[in-house]
């Protein structure tokens, strides 16, 4: 074995893994194919680029997503440290200025003496060095083929990103600031209400709009992941589906009428300056002119200027229950670790948390120590247990959820209190584990 560890991919999981290894005094060779080559969804040369939403989900520790982030903070997560420095208002969510976030992560990685950055595309998995593979849901074709040859099977589906518009182009007369149920500071979201007649026109045009073609791989029967489903696909399930989904008006009141709108699109601040907003839940694969036309039927967006149109791209993940151990190592090669969405964890912080654990375990392997798996009472441990559960026959990606955790004793009926109890137990268990096992 060499005197360093390879990390392939400088996305969220790869950067977290490289940081965890380097802080333990081990040399890291971090391979990233940017800037020489980019996936269809990536535009920046920086590391840890957020290609979909800029939200890292709920802040509350009593929520599943909030608990996951708290556990990561307890484990000295680089990604959470950077995120906390570039937040933008988003009600109860942790949202970041994505450009500042990527800059902070990139700078932090480059400042690490133990990390050597190599701008090169890896097309074949190394077999002579401890390696963390964190190439993400858009793993390049050649490397993907090598991974498939190793495991015999890989699954793929499609992921979609929402458009971004300029703040100044949003019509102020037909929109209003308010967080749902008045959570947050009150101006975290711009709301774009529609009455019944406006919604019906918008809906009919949306379901009949022309979609962009998909390229480069078989699209005869694409798998569309529920958590990032294109708005036009969701709308086809029924006229009221999106009105009870991304366009739900509950918890909102239109100041022009004093009543709840028939439907409402929320826009979330995209950057710290508040000059750009993204269309929450409006991931789409419509052709660009169709996006401008159809979304322009929403009164507040009639003159919207699009900074970025929505896109749809491939998302690839391995059949983790069959091929991975709970410490994120491959069953066929204990020196080969996988991390990020490639493993079937779904979400930015879920990906980073898997990188954190893969990094710790790759370092432990290098140092001759036992690898670790966090207790199933923790969200990070529960995610690892889920994606490596061999009893799962048809594996699909999973994000943080209290449903993954063992049931509570004396389970409270109140949902909020139940979340608090889950969080209390997880934090206590992780604190004890850290004091005993993790240096």
327-375 tens-digit pLDDT:
999 999 999 999 999 999 988 999 999 999 999 999 999 999 999 999 9
317: β partners: 155
Res 36: pLDDT:
66
Query: In whole angstroms, what is the distance from residue 293 CA to residue 209 CA?
Result: 9
Q: For residue 324, what pLDDT is reported?
A: 97
Handedness of CA 108, 113, 114, 118 (dihedral sign): positive
Per-run averaged pLDDT (10 residues), the chain, 439 residues: 93 98 98 74 79 88 96 97 94 92 97 97 93 90 89 70 90 93 73 98 97 58 61 95 95 93 94 84 94 98 91 82 96 97 92 98 97 97 93 83 87 87 97 85
Domains of the chain: 4-153+319-437 (3.50.50.60), 161-314 (2.40.30.260)
What φ, ψ does residue 185 adopt, rounded to 5°?
Answer: -90, 0
Write down the pLDDT at residue 226.
Answer: 59
SS3 content of the chain, % helix, strand, coil (to 5): 35, 20, 45
Residue 315: the pLDDT is 72
pLDDT computed for residue 37 by the predictor: 65
pLDDT confidence of residue 437: 81
pTM for this predicted structure: 0.78
What is the number of residues in the chain? 439
Residue 12, SS3 per DSSP: helix
Tokens of 97: 């200025």
d(CA 435, CA 439): 8
**Please, what's the b/e burial string for 292-322 (b: 16 or more CB within 10 A of its CB; e: otherwise)?**
bebbbbbbbbeebebbebbbbbbbbbbbbbe
Q: Say whether the peptide bond before residue 35 is cis (omega within 30 degrees of 0).
A: yes
Q: Let me know: does 50 contact 96? Beta carbons within 8 Å.
A: yes
What's the pLDDT score for residue 393? 77
**Structure token digits, residue 15:** 């950067």
Residues 6+ apart with CB under 8 A from 175: 190, 191, 192, 193, 267, 300
Helix (H) or strand (E) holding 146: helix 141-151
Place of tokens 């969701």: 234
Q: How far apart are CA 335 and CA 127, in angstroms?
A: 8
Could you please report the per-residue DSSP string of 166-210?
EGGGS-STT-EE--GGG-TTS-SEEEEEE-HHHHHHHHHHHHHSP
């Amino acid at each position: 074995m060499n005197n360093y560890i390879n990390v392939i991919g400088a996305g969220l999981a790869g950067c977290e893994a490289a940081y965890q290894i380097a802080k333990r005094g081990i040399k890291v060779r971090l391979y990233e194919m940017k800037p020489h080559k980019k996936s269809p969804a990536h535009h920046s040369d920086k590391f840890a680029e957020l290609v979909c939403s800029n939200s890292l989900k709920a802040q509350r520790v009593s929520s599943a997503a909030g608990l996951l982030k708290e556990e990561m903070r307890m484990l000295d997560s680089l990604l959470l440290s950077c995120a906390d420095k570039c937040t933008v208002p988003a009600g109860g969510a942790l949202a970041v200025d994505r450009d500042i976030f990527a800059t902070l992560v990139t700078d932090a990685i480059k400042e690490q003496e133990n990390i050597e950055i190599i701008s090169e595309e890896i097309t074949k998995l190394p077999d002579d060095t401890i390696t963390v593979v964190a190439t993400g849901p858009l793993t390049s074709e050649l490397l993907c083929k090598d991974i498939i040859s190793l495991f015999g099977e890989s699954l793929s589906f499609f992921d979609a990103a929402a458009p971004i518009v300029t703040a100044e182009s949003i019509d102020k007369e037909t929109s209003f600031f308010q967080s749902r149920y008045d959570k947050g500071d009150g101006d975290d979201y711009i709301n774009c209400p529609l009455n019944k007649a406006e919604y019906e026109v918008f809906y009919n045009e949306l379901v009949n709009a022309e979609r962009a073609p998909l390229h480069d791989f078989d699209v005869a029967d694409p798998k569309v992941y529920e958590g990032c489903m294109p708005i036009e696909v969701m709308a086809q399930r029924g006229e009221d589906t999106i009105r009870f989904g991304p366009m739900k008006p509950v918890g909102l009141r239109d100041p022009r009428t004093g009543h709840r709108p028939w439907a409402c699109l929320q826009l979330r601040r995209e950057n710290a300056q508040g000059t750009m907003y993204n269309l929450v839940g409006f991931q789409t694969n419509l052709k660009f002119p169709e996006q401008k036309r159809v979304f322009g039927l929403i009164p507040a967006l009639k003159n919207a200027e699009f900074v970025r149109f929505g896109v749809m791209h491939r998302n690839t993940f391995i059949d983790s229950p069959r091929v991975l151990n709970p410490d994120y190592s491959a069953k066929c090669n204990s020196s080969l670790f996988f991390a990020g969405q490639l493993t079937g964890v779904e979400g930015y912080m879920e990906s980073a948390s898997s990188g954190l654990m893969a990094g710790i375990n790759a370092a432990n392997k290098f140092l001759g120590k036992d690898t670790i798996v966090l207790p199933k009472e923790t969200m990070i441990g529960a995610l690892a247990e889920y994606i490596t559960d061999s009893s799962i026959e048809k594996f699909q990606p999973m994000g943080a959820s209290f449903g993954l955790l063992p049931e509570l004793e004396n389970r409270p009926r109140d949902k909020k209190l139940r979340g608090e109890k889950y969080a209390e137990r997880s934090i206590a268990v992780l604190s004890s584990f850290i004091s005993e096992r993790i240096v």
